[in-house]
A and B are shown apart, each in its own frame.
Chain A
């Protein structure tokens, strides 16, 4: 064999090896989290008294803040005209050692487990902020205070979950996607069942792990089909092979590709609680401790969307309807989106428990965001990111208000919310602001999210000047109107209705002293204000957020996403 036919791979191998050690530079936030996770376990051993256990929550806040700052430093300024280039590649490896055909500069092609680009930085910041709010919220939680012996375990699990959440939107490889998703899920199963001494907690954890394990199992089966079709687990390489080799998506393989894509979407759809993978959502949201519910509904959903965007846009870039590979995932996703939002909203109408209403409404919100995902392009991605950033404050805020009320009156039933306005004006008015923002009323952050989302869905098709997704936009608007009813039902109960006790007494011809006022401490109220202020500010002054999100997406450079 002439030596020229064998490409000189030793140099590539050396380069990859050298780069692998160097890649740890891009891994700093995750290393901080892993270190914090280990220290949190040790801290739990050294704090004996139940009272001092809450120190681990403060420690977790510091760790998450440090990791957030470290990921903020990974932000790369955008240079005009520069195509998408990965920042730090984490654990790069060479496909060229095995497939000499595609032997070109491996590092520029970005075969790596994960990548540090502005997209992943955005999600890391989002997750850190959500985690810090959630931990501050945990300090006020009655449910957790009753179990303060196990708070060390609680905060270390949150840090561990954040490692997975950080890696989910950064993954470039099916292996890393699966591992990070499982990391989040396994920590989530334990946290959902944190109040394990109650039947509700035990049941919530069981339902979560059953549905979670099923959908992640189906997802990895779908990944195995992708691997079989293309011979690689890297999503960029999968895209390349699909484009270069028509045999991978013609004939019978077309159906295999469909099955693989749908199975892969099962696992991700479960994370964002899209119909029909939503069955766990109401039960887990009701049974888990409220801070955990808030975190699952914000951070886990955000990271799920990050993973979904990365997967769909890297494996099937836009324009794939006309160019190979032909896979009309957009229509499939559009149907999923409309079913998800309609189901979530209609089911929420029937609920009497506020936490269940919010659970179903979070399914509806996943549907709205999926509508923007259908559009796919830069606009759609920007819209999802803006939506997630505004959703963070209102969703955590509304769960915080629900938790504060439940701490005092011990109930989450809508009938027990009657007349709360006179008893606790601050929390009631805060709750109404959060609910209005969730509906998408102007002057709140929720309106900005919905506005950009609709603008993205209504982008006219460049070639035909028609609106391809008009029906989807109509669906979003109709659903927003439906959601107004059940959100305002909660608000009306607090503001307009009289407590059932008073009405019963009146019918009996008696009068009773009004129900006692509910007092909250200064730190509790301060956190509430810290959640309201971003909602009101983003409602009018949203340009920085929009610039930030579109900076991320310009960096993606959808116009020439060629590797």
Chain B
């Protein structure tokens, strides 16, 4: 039994699967921390795309540079998001996004 060598398609499929999983996580989980993990999955899907295109497209190194920027910004965003979730826990005693429903029509 032989396998096709790992190529661009494998990485693109992996990234697309990660994107869908991230979206599903964000839409179905009610724990704010789990929702943040979904965001990380989406960002990593984009990163895999960028790096795979750079590696197999062999065009330039631009994609790898973008991936590094995305990693850094994801860290910033996670720091702020965790602070906000922590603050929510202090106010409501829970990190469930369903509990945060005081503001509505």
| A246 sits at the interface (CB 8 A) | no
From known contacts A214-B26, A350-B105, infer whether A205 and B59 are also in contact, taking CB-CB under 8 Å. no
- How far apart sit A182 and B70, CA to CA, in the bound complex (Å)? 10
- How far apart sit A105 and B26, CA to CA, in the bound complex (Å)? 46
B76 touches A206 (CB 8 A): no
B57 touches A228 (CB 8 A): yes
- How far apart sit A350 and B28, CA to CA, in the bound complex (Å)? 29
Q: Which residues of A contact B15 (CB under 8 A)?
A: 221, 224
Q: Which residues of A contact B63 (CB under 8 A)?
A: 224, 227, 233
A227 touches B84 (CB 8 A): no
Q: Which residues of B contact A217 (CB under 8 A)?
A: 22, 39, 42-43, 46
A179 touches B73 (CB 8 A): yes
- How far apart sit A233 and B35, CA to CA, in the bound complex (Å)? 29
B42 touches A224 (CB 8 A): no
B84 touches A189 (CB 8 A): yes
Q: Which residues of B contact A227 (CB under 8 A)?
A: 49-50, 53, 62-63, 66
- How far apart sit A286 and B88, CA to CA, in the bound complex (Å)? 17
Q: Which residues of B contact A202 (CB under 8 A)?
A: 84, 87-88, 90-92, 100
> Among the listed B39, B62, B65, which residue makes an inter-chain contact with A214, where contact means beta carbons less than 8 Å apart?
B39
- How far apart sit A209 and B86, CA to CA, in the bound complex (Å)? 13
Please give the distance in Å from A423's CB to the nearest CB on chain B: 28
| A331 sits at the interface (CB 8 A) | no
- Chain A contact residues (Cβ within 8 angstroms of B): what range? 35 or more
> Among the listed A197, A225, A282, which residue makes an inter-chain contact with B105, where contact means beta carbons less than 8 Å apart?
A282
The binding surface of chain B is classed by DSSP as helix
- How far apart sit A227 and B52, CA to CA, in the bound complex (Å)? 11
User: Which of A97, A98, A287: most chain B CB closer than 10 A?
Assistant: A98
A95 touches B100 (CB 8 A): no
B50 touches A213 (CB 8 A): no
From known contacts A213-B39, A224-B46, infer whether A98 and B59 are also in contact, taking CB-CB under 8 Å. yes
> Among the listed B61, B66, B76, which residue makes an inter-chain contact with A175, where contact means beta carbons less than 8 Å apart?
B66
- How far apart sit A282 and B73, CA to CA, in the bound complex (Å)? 26
Instruction: Name B61's closest neighbour in chain A (CB-CB).
Output: A98
Instruction: Name A213's closest neighbour in chain B (CB-CB).
Output: B39
> Among the listed B46, B59, B103, which residue makes an inter-chain contact with A223, where contact means beta carbons less than 8 Å apart?
B46
Instruction: Name A182's closest neighbour in chain B (CB-CB).
Output: B73
- How far apart sit A445 and B55, CA to CA, in the bound complex (Å)? 53
- How far apart sit A200 and B81, CA to CA, in the bound complex (Å)? 16
Please give the distance in Å from B14's CB to the nearest CB on chain A: 13
From known contacts A175-B66, A200-B102, A202-B100, infer whether A186 and B84 are also in contact, taking CB-CB under 8 Å. no
B76 touches A174 (CB 8 A): no
B102 touches A199 (CB 8 A): yes
Instruction: Name A217's closest neighbour in chain B (CB-CB).
Output: B42
From known contacts A199-B92, A204-B103, infer whether A224 and B53 are also in contact, taking CB-CB under 8 Å. yes
A193 touches B87 (CB 8 A): yes
The binding surface of chain A is classed by DSSP as helix
A233 touches B66 (CB 8 A): yes
A95 touches B88 (CB 8 A): no
> Among the listed B19, B76, B90, which residue makes an inter-chain contact with A221, where contact means beta carbons less than 8 Å apart?
B19
Instruction: Name A181's closest neighbour in chain B (CB-CB).
Output: B73
A286 touches B49 (CB 8 A): no
Interface code A42-54, partner B: CB below 8 Å = 1, 0 otherwise?
0000000000000
Q: Which residues of B contact A95 (CB under 8 A)?
A: 60
From known contacts A227-B63, A283-B103, infer whether A203 and B70 are also in contact, taking CB-CB under 8 Å. no
From known contacts A202-B92, A220-B46, infer whether A231 and B59 are also in contact, taking CB-CB under 8 Å. yes
Q: Which residues of A contact B105 (CB under 8 A)?
A: 282, 347, 350-351, 356
- How far apart sit A174 and B62, CA to CA, in the bound complex (Å)? 10
Within 8 A of B (CB), among A452-481: none
B42 touches A199 (CB 8 A): no
Please give the distance in Å from B47's CB to the nearest CB on chain A: 8
| B97 sits at the interface (CB 8 A) | yes
User: Which of B12, B32, B87: most chain A CB closer than 10 A?
Assistant: B87
A189 touches B80 (CB 8 A): yes
| A232 sits at the interface (CB 8 A) | yes
B100 touches A203 (CB 8 A): yes
- How far apart sit A287 and B88, CA to CA, in the bound complex (Å)? 13
Q: Which residues of B contact A193 (CB under 8 A)?
A: 84, 87
Instruction: Name A224's closest neighbour in chain B (CB-CB).
Output: B49
> Among the listed B50, B77, B80, which residue makes an inter-chain contact with A224, where contact means beta carbons less than 8 Å apart?
B50
- How far apart sit A182 and B80, CA to CA, in the bound complex (Å)? 12
From known contacts A186-B77, A189-B80, A204-B103, infer whether A210 and B50 are also in contact, taking CB-CB under 8 Å. no
> Among the listed B70, B85, B104, which residue makes an inter-chain contact with A220, where contact means beta carbons less than 8 Å apart?
B70
Within 8 A of B (CB), among A232-272: 232-233
Known: A182-B76, A203-B100, A213-B81. 18 other contacts (CB 8 A): A99-B59, A99-B60, A178-B66, A178-B73, A179-B69, A193-B84, A202-B90, A202-B91, A202-B100, A205-B88, A207-B103, A209-B81, A217-B42, A220-B43, A220-B46, A227-B49, A231-B57, A232-B62
Binding site for B on A (CB under 8 A): 95, 97-99, 174-175, 178-179, 182, 185-186, 189-190, 193, 196-200, 202-207, 209-210, 213-214, 217-218, 220-221, 223-225, 227-228, 231-233, 282-283, 286-287, 347, 350-351, 356
List 6 A-B pairs, minimum CB-CB distance, nearest first.
A224-B49, A98-B60, A217-B42, A231-B59, A283-B103, A228-B53
- 23 CB-based A-B contacts, threshold 8 Å: A97-B60, A98-B60, A175-B69, A178-B69, A197-B91, A202-B92, A202-B100, A205-B88, A207-B100, A213-B39, A221-B42, A221-B45, A223-B66, A224-B47, A224-B49, A225-B49, A227-B66, A231-B57, A232-B60, A233-B66, A286-B103, A287-B103, A350-B105
